[in-house]
A and B are shown apart, each in its own frame.
Chain A
Amino acid sequence: MASTVPDPLGGPADELAAVVALRELADRLEDAAVERALRAGWSWSQVAEALGVTRQAVHKKHLRRLAGTDIDLRRRNVRVD
């Protein structure tokens, strides 16, 4: 195994960087998509079902950041403290 430092561009470096970029993109897409769905009138349960996760998981990840917005979350049977 060569001990030389690999180039930061090309080959495996590009493939590994793609993983980083995709994870970041997926996180940002989720934040935006969940918010748009709720604004469009989707319930938390529907968002959770579409994402393939539990409603509790969606709450835990997104409720706090969206509680301060103009989205009416109370109609969706979610207690906002």
Chain B
Amino acid sequence: MSASTDGRTGGHQGRSGQSIGAEVRALVRLATAEAERRGLPAVEAEHLMLALLAGTGSTGGTAGTGGAAAVLAAEGLDYDTFARALIAERENSLRAAGVEPVPADRLVSTGRQSRARFGTSARQALVAAHRVSASHRRHNMRTGDVAAGILSSSLGTVPRALAYAGLDRSRLLQAVVSATQEA
């Protein structure tokens, strides 16, 4: 699976036989743009989350099951909060190795021409999302399922960023799952 493939083809069949709907394909495209904008070679779970949270603004209502982004925003997780938390996570992680963060202007470079590949954490988030979707016997995977898939991971960048933002991952997951069940 690659970001470009998922983002461009229609009716992609997941391993459970479910279809990734237009909603999730658009989410993957947005996540790919988030990774590439940061000059990163791979789309990871945090980029899927950024893409999902971007829906809280003017595009609100396009986010799947009753608006997963709106549910998360109501729990205190919006795009800006998460973006700041990701920066804090990387800075704190570098300091754990005794490395001070490098000023942003020292990291400016011309972006890569190739599409960002789909990283392991993003892949695992979508696999988990498939499980959530299948458990509700739905044909199409929705963004709410992706939100649950991302939040089901207890270790790594996303849970660390949430912890630094002072947010309870389990509570966010519960809120998303509840909204998914109601939809």
Chain A residues at the B interface, C-beta cutoff of 8 Å = 5-6, 8-9, 13-15, 17-22, 24-25, 27-29, 31-32, 34-35, 64-66, 68-69
In the assembled complex, the Cα of A14 lies from the Cα of B156 at a distance in Å of: 10
The minimal Cβ–Cβ distance linking A38 to chain B, given in whole angstroms, is 10
Contact A22 B102 (CB under 8 A): no
Return chain B residues, CB-CB under 8 Å to A35. 109-110
Contact A65 B111 (CB under 8 A): yes
Contact A18 B94 (CB under 8 A): yes
The minimal Cβ–Cβ distance linking B166 to chain A, given in whole angstroms, is 12
* Chain A contact surface mostly: helix
* Chain B contact surface mostly: loop
Return chain B residues, CB-CB under 8 Å to A18. 93-94, 96-97, 99
Chain B residues at the A interface, C-beta cutoff of 8 Å = 39-41, 89-90, 92-94, 96-97, 99, 102, 106-114, 154-157, 159-160, 163-164
Most chain B beta-carbon neighbours within 10 Å: one of A18, A19, A21, A28? A21
User: Given contacts A13-B160, A17-B160, A64-B113, are A5 and B94 in contact (CB under 8 A)?
Assistant: no
Tell which of B39, B97, B163 touches A28, judged by Cβ atoms closer than 8 Å: B39
Contact A28 B107 (CB under 8 A): yes
